[in-house]
Amino acid sequence: MIKEIYCTEKENGISADKVSSMLDELLAQRESVKKVLIIPPDFTRCYSYAGEITQMLYKKLEDKALVHVMPALGTHMPMDEEEMDKFFGDVVPRENIIVHHWQSDTIRLGYVPEDVCSEISNGLFPEKIDVEVNHLLFDGGYDLILSVGQVVPHEVVGMAK
């Protein structure tokens, strides 16, 4: 189990050096990885700093592991070249970016039961909800999968990380 790392500095934000040292501390817990999947948000979260964090992680891992990046698109459109340039710079090679095809690349893990959906929605949504993820999370052979950033505003339906 990976130990969570927290930064409680609030006054002047978090410096790039501090983020880098926290990533070093995180990655030190899994030094022998050979294949890594980084899942940042897509370009709709371009101001989240997740693109920069993804670039930092890629640089720290690329010499010792095969690193893929799969933006968490959900049902959004894939990032175009301009968006990838802005988000990943020239750090992440385009051939290492995996596009999530939500219509065909998911596997069902289970579901949220109808009674739970009804209860948490005060009866407004009395239907079960399938829980699906990209199949690569299970059969991609990754030693480490890193989720970078938030999934806001999806927390309103219970999906935020």
Looking up residue 106, the CATH number of its domain turns out to be 3.40.50.11440
- How many domains are contained in the chain? 1
Contacts 24+ apart (CB under 8 A), 76-85: 76/42, 76/44, 79/42, 79/43, 83/43, 83/46
**26 contacts 60 by C-beta, under 8 angstroms:** no
Decide if pLDDT at 159 tops 70. Answer: no
Q: Of 143, 148, 147, whose CA–CA distance to 35 is shortest? A: 143
Please state the rounded mean pLDDT for residues 114-133. Answer: 92
Task: Indicate whether 7 pLDDT > 60.
Answer: yes
Q: What's the rounded Cα separation, in Å, for the pair 133 and 130?
A: 10
Q: What is the pTM of this model?
A: 0.83
Please check whether residue 91 lies inside any domain of the structure: yes
Domain extent for 111: 32-157
Length of the chain equals 161
Task: Indicate whether 69 belongs to any domain.
Answer: yes
Indicate whether 98 belongs to any domain.
yes
Q: Is residue 56 part of a domain?
A: yes
Q: Is residue 125 part of a domain?
A: yes
The answer to whether residue 127 sits within a structural domain is yes
Rounded Cα distance between 38 and 100, Å, is 13
- Give the helix/strand (H/E) hosting 130: strand 129-134
Helices then strands, each counted (H, E), the chain: 5, 5
Domain assignment present for 140: yes
pLDDT at 76 over 90: no
